[in-house]
Structures are given as C-alpha cells and as structure tokens.
Amino acid sequence: MANEAAFKQAMEAGYTFEGPAFVLGGAMLGDSAEAGTLVRIPLGTLNRHGLIAGATGTGKTKTLQIIAEQLSREGVPSLLMDIKGDLSGIAVASAGHPKIDERHAAIGIPYTASGSPVELLSLSDEPGARLRATVLEFGPVLFSKMLDLNDTQSGIIALTYKYAEDNELPLLDLKDLRKVLQYVTNEGKEEVEKEYGHISSASVGAIMRRIVELEGQGADDFFGERSFEVADLTRLDERGRGVVSIVRLTDMQDRPKLFSTFMLQLLAEIYATFPEEGDLDRPKLAVFIDEAHLVFDEATDALLDQLEAIVKLIRSKGVGLFFVTQNPADIPAAVLSQLGLKVQHALRAFTAKDRKAIKLASENYPLTEFYDTDQTLTELGTGEAFVTALDRKGRPTPLVRTLLRAPESRMDVLTKEEIRKLVDASSLVRKYNETLDRESAYEILEKKLARAKEAEHREAMQDQREKASRTTSTRQGRPTRQKSMLEEVMDSTLARQVSRTVAREVTRGILGVLGLRRR
C-alpha cells in the first residue's frame, strides 16, 4: 500500500506540467492501471524529438495515431509516413467498441470519437498531392552524399552545378543533370576544362551508374516540378486543428533508396526554410518516420552524418522528429541520444540475441524502483508501453508503464471512395498534380547542340560550293584551241560518209587482190 502511494505521488509529480499537454494514457503499477493517475506529455518539449519502438503487433502504429490526433487537436500539424496503409483512418471518427470504453474507464478519462483533418500526399502513383523536388534544390553536397560519391566524383558534381549556374542551365530533373554531365565530358569538354579544370570520364561514368540506380527506384517521379513547398505542411483547418499530412508509401518498401532520399531532402528543406523559433509552447510541426530502419539501413555514412546534424539542429526551428521502429538499436546512437520522448512497446525474447537486445534497450531508460525493466519489457501487453518524456526544464520524467488511450479515429484503412473524396476536396492536389516540364538544361543543351550541328552542316556545304566554284573557274579559264581546216572537214556529215565509203572500197580491193572473192 505504501508502495502504491509512493508510486502515485511520483507519477503525479513527474507528469504534471505548466503549459499545454495531452494525456497519453494511465500509469500502471503491476498489471493494472491506477485510475486517475495520468501520463501527460508536455507540448513544449516535443521539439526534442521522440522514439516509438516495439515488436511487430504491439501497437506502435496506433501510438503514432494517438499522438498525431492529440497534436492536431492542440493545433500542431504533423507529417506521417503511412507504409502499411492503415494510418489514413485518422481522417474518420472511430465507430467505438466496448473494449475501448473498458480501457478508458480503467484509465479514468472519457472517450470521444473524432476524426482529424487529413491531407494525402504521394511520392508515386498513390492518390494524393505529388511530392517533388528539383535537382537544383538538393544542391551538390547533399546530392553527392545521397549517391555516396567519393571526393573526386563529388567535385565533378560541384563543377556541374557551377557550370549550370554560370550558363543559366536550370537543373530540374535527372535528365537535366545527365545531359550536363554528358556535355561537359564530350562536346563542351574543351570549353569546360579551360575554365574549370580537368574532368575524368571514368568518374563521370561512375556517377552516371549511380544515377541510373536511383532512377531504377522511381526517382524520375520525384525529381522535377512543381516543387513541394514545406510551408504547406504547417496548415491549420478552419477550427484551428493541425492538418495531418499523410504520405502514402504502400509501394515504397521495395524502393528504400528513394524513401531515404525523400526524407533527407524534406528535412533539409525544412531546416533551410523554417525560421529560428527558440523555445515555443508547442512545436510548429511534428514529423513521424514510420519503419525508420528503412531510412537508416539504406543511408550511407555521409547521409547518416547529415541526418545526425539535422536532428540536432532542427529542433530550434520548432520541429519535432519521431522515429518509429521495432528496436531502439535500429537507430544510430548519436540520433537516439537526441530523442526526448520514448514510448517503448513490448520486445520479444526468442533467442539469445533478442535477450541481449532487450538488455541493451532497457539501458536507454531512466532507472526506476517500481519496475524490473528488463523483465517488464517482455510482459507488456498490446496497447501498453514504457513511457518517459522531458519536462519543461529538459529533465527526463519517471519511467512509467502506461495503459495507452485508444485512438479517437478509425483504426483501419479508408475505403477507395473515402480516399477519393479526400483527394477531390484537396487544394494541394490541384496545386501540385499539374505536371510541369518547362525549358531546362536538357532542352537548352539539345538546342545548342542542334545549332552547332546545323552550323557545321552549313559550313560543310559552303566549303563544297566554294570547291565546286573553284573547279568550274579553273575549267573556264583554260584557252580554247581552234580546230584546223582538216578537223572541220572530218567533223562534217558528208566527210564522215565519204570516209566510210572509201574505207569499204579499199577493203574490197585488198580482198580481191588476195583472191578472196565472194562466191
């Protein structure tokens, strides 16, 4: 009993905050929730990022859904990666269920079904507003890191960007970049090397192969116009609720390179364009990266360095990043150390390796006198999690086993008809789904090469005409010899006839002399 009282006192002191907060669930001591002992999450520290981890089927996606809809209610927009397709249900109010009512009675809070304002986005042919960016917006450094280029190859990419800038050649899509690379290696090589230095054809070939690999994962659909403006992620609806932007990625699991490329560019663009905000009472934007291991598994060392830098710096822009994955070990240590909110669902210990992973995971959380963390991690039920956050002074809150509230929205996919209605009502679909292909580096260089070829052709034709003219002039310049009287007589028709007659008669005479007369 004394332990229960100490527990309640510790939880109330640790999870009561000044300023806006939302209820994530109820505190549990043992296998049951302590009704009325609520686990609140302060909005003011959510720009310190977060982690949602746990084995398959333990409720990670629903936790993400809960946090996103509570943030929306508090006027915080969010961006979600919907890889399995079931997050779109956040747009529609839940139909309710007796199990939900039972859970909320145990927590000690009422249950209200509600949908959130949703905007569907897409990197491919999925319904929604198209997400695109230009090659130019990536910049040479980020583009080189994305392709994992060495120093020499990165230098060529930098040179290519510089040449394109100096010669007003817009780099919008991958065919623009390929065309400029081909030009500086072939037709324009002499001009470029005179101005910018030597270019290795072998290095350019290696870069081309990396670009082809990227194109094989559908990057052609991503690079181009119209570029997505990240300010459109921070919209509120007419009721002041944050818009939940959902990137539908159900066809992206076999294209991890494109997914990691998109995430890096998006975060870099947010960091570059959002103003410095300092400490706000709530974040301007929350970004949830589901299946985060897809980002980190495919990221090169250079990309990981870039991600770590962005995670450390982007919080000053009022943006919170939340990584959703199966095991905290999926997240690099340098990133994991920056994550203030941690929601750890159950981990399963089927092998010795699993047990080691659980031991390592337990060391990521504050020490507690109320739980055996290692053991409890394997006993958490579906919809339960260990939770720790940061208070307004940046201190970790007590580790608490939490019975999570239920999502207020549907815990399932939207129907095709519901998706179609969302898309038809979207202003962003009308804005971004118009395909633009304005004149850029590819078209400009094609015209330049065509003009050069035409000029060469005209020059060749002119040389031929001049040569023919000189030949004709030479022939016309020779003196004409006058025919003799004998030649004029022999050229006449009568003279030719007389010649033939004389020849015939002479022949007959000779044959007669030889005694070869006709019989």
Q: Would you place residue 298 in the very low, low, confident or very high pLDDT band (cuts 50, 70, 90)?
A: low
What band does 256 get if pLDDT is binned at 50, 70 and 90?
low
Helix 256-273 vs helix 301-313: crossing angle, to nearest 10: 40
Q: Is 284 left (phi over 0), alpha (psi -120 to 50) or beta?
A: alpha
Token pair of 102, please? Answer: 């039972």
Residue 294 half-sphere exposure toward CB, CA atoms < 13 A: 20
Q: Span 302-325, mean pLDDT?
A: 86
Confidence of residue 70 (pLDDT cuts 50, 70, 90): very high
Distance (Å, rounded) from C-alpha 247 to C-alpha 82? 6
Task: Decide: helix, strand or coil at residue 302.
Answer: helix
- Quote the CA–CA distance of 444 and 200 in Å, as a whole number: 24
Yes or no: say if 14 and 37 are a contact pair by the CB < 8 Å rule: no
Contact between 171 and 177 (Cβ < 8 Å): yes
The residue count for the chain: 519
* pLDDT tens per residue, range 203-227: 999 999 999 888 887 788 788 888 8
pLDDT-based confidence at 2, cuts 50/70/90? low
Q: How many CB atoms lie within 10 A of CB 391?
A: 17
Structure tokens at 492: 């006449």
Higher pLDDT, 319 or 4: 319
Rg (the chain; Cα; Å): 39
Query: Tens digit of pLDDT for each residue in 339-355?
Result: 999 999 998 877 777 78
At 390-404, the pLDDT tens digits run: 998 889 999 999 999
pTM: 0.80
461, pLDDT greater than 50: yes
Closest alpha carbon to 175 in 228, 224, 142, 138: 224
* pLDDT > 70? residue 293: yes
CB 410 within 8 A of CB 90: yes
Distance CA 482, CA 509 (A): 37
Q: Which helix (H) or strand (E) holds 50?
A: strand 50-53
Q: Is the pLDDT of residue 517 over 60?
A: no
